[in-house]
């Protein structure tokens, strides 16, 4: 009897201890996320969530780790020094060729009829009046990136094939803009707001992504390990992100100051550039990823299809 009583007490103690361990600790600190931020409009919701206290109210500590370029951001992600970032569908394929290294959890930005994201521009002295005039012309792009993808898709909608035009690789956006306005290249593909700056400096709009707006998007991604092992941190981040997006869309002028403070737009546009709308609680569809996969396979960047489930994860 004494032995059975001892076993019963031990089991009860174990159950109580297990229950205590499963309860959230009121003294525990907030969950933490390290966010890799490029100086681009797409990350504005993170700064709004910080400024408005949305992260803090969600019990989440967010450290913003600045990156000067996509290459630097990717190095931080691959080294495990950041947990989340804004990237694009093309780079997501490269990350997840062999296995899931990151998961897309939201669309960060997308093109709208009143707010295109990507422009094909021409130098005003190049004699280019429309897409058909680009045949045989060298267009400055960043090869193997979303810039090349959008160039092909925008011009494809205009009736041109990749063989109809040539490309020259100028990876850095400021260098590409300068080459265009100085006339060292006749045409270039630029993302906004750099496209707006180029237009102010005389560049001519030849085409933009409004005709292919369903595939023109950037994405919010988390390291796969974080999504799988710490989904609560991802949920809280998304809660604050969604609140920030709603606040931006309700009153975009309220956050115009952050564009300057965080250097999200070129200095000459400060005070005049309007904050664009942001998509609310959206994930890329299978069809959107199917298009970029088909493009990447056609280019030889990947050799086989990548399952949608390896690319996107809905976190509730």
In the chain, where the domains are located: 31-110+216-310, 118-215
Whether the link from the prior residue into 282 is cis, omega within 30° of 0, is no
Side-chain-facing half-sphere of 25: CA atoms under 13 Å = 6
List of residues 6+ apart from 45 with CB closer than 8 A = 108, 241, 244, 245, 248, 278
Does pLDDT of 31 surpass 80? yes
Mean pLDDT of 25-43: 80
Q: Phi first, then psi: what are they for 264, rounded to 5°?
A: -90, -10
Whether 31-110+216-310 shares its CATH topology with 118-215 is answered yes
How far apart CA 37 and CA 270 sit, in angstroms, is 20
Higher local confidence (pLDDT), 229 or 18: 229
Paired sense of beta strands 138-141 and 102-110, if any: unpaired
pLDDT of residue 30: 66
Helix axes 231-250, 44-51, angle to 10 degrees: 90
Q: What is the pTM of this model?
A: 0.88
In the chain, % of residues over pLDDT 70: 91
pLDDT tens sequence across 257-285: 999 999 999 999 999 999 999 999 999 99
Residue-averaged pLDDT of the chain: 91
Q: In the CATH hierarchy, which top-level class contains the domain 118-215?
A: alpha beta
Predicted confidence at residue 133, as pLDDT, reads 98
What CATH number does domain 31-110+216-310 carry, 3.40.50.720, 3.30.420.40, 3.40.190.10, 3.40.50.150? Answer: 3.40.190.10
The tokens for 136 are: 């045989």
Least confident of 27-31, 81-85, 113-117, 228-232: 27-31
What integer pLDDT is reported at residue 182 of this predicted model?
A: 97
Terminal C-alpha separation, the chain = 49
Other CB atoms within 10 A of residue 264 CB? 23
pLDDT tens per residue, range 172-228: 999 999 999 999 999 999 999 999 999 999 999 999 999 999 999 999 999 999 999
């Amino acid at each position: 009897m004494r032995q059975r009583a001892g076993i019963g007490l031990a089991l009860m103690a174990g159950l109580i201890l297990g229950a205590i361990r499963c309860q959230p600790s009121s003294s525990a600190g907030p969950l933490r996320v390290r966010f890799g931020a490029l100086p681009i409009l797409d990350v504005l919701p993170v700064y709004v969530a910080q400024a408005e206290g949305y992260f803090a109210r969600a019990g989440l500590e967010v450290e913003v780790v600045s990156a000067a370029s996509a290459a630097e951001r990717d190095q931080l992600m691959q080294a495990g020094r950041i947990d989340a970032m804004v990237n694009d569908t093309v780079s997501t394929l490269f990350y997840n060729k062999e296995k899931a290294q990151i998961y897309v959890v939201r669309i960060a930005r997308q093109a709208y009829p009143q707010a295109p994201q990507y422009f094909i521009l021409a130098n005003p002295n190049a004699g280019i009046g429309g897409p058909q005039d680009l045949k045989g012309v060298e267009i400055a792009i960043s090869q193997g990136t979303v810039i090349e993808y959008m160039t092909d898709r925008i011009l494809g909608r205009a009736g041109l094939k990749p063989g109809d035009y040539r490309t020259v690789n100028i990876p850095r956006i400021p260098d590409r803009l300068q080459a265009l306005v100085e006339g060292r290249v006749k045409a270039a593909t630029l993302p906004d707001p750099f496209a707006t700056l180029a237009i102010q400096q005389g560049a001519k709009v030849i085409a933009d992504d409004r005709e292919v707006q369903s595939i023109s998007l950037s994405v919010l991604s988390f390291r796969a390990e974080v999504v799988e092992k710490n989904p609560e941190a991802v949920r809280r981040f998304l809660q604050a992100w969604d609140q920030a997006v709603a606040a931006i869309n309700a009153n975009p002028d309220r956050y115009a100051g952050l564009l300057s403070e965080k250097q999200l737009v070129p200095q000459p546009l400060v005070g005049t550039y309007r904050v664009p709308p942001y998509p609310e609680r959206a994930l890329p569809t299978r069809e959107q990823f199917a298009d970029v996969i088909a493009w990447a396979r056609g280019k030889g960047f990947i050799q086989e299809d990548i399952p949608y489930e390896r690319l996107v994860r809905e976190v509730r």
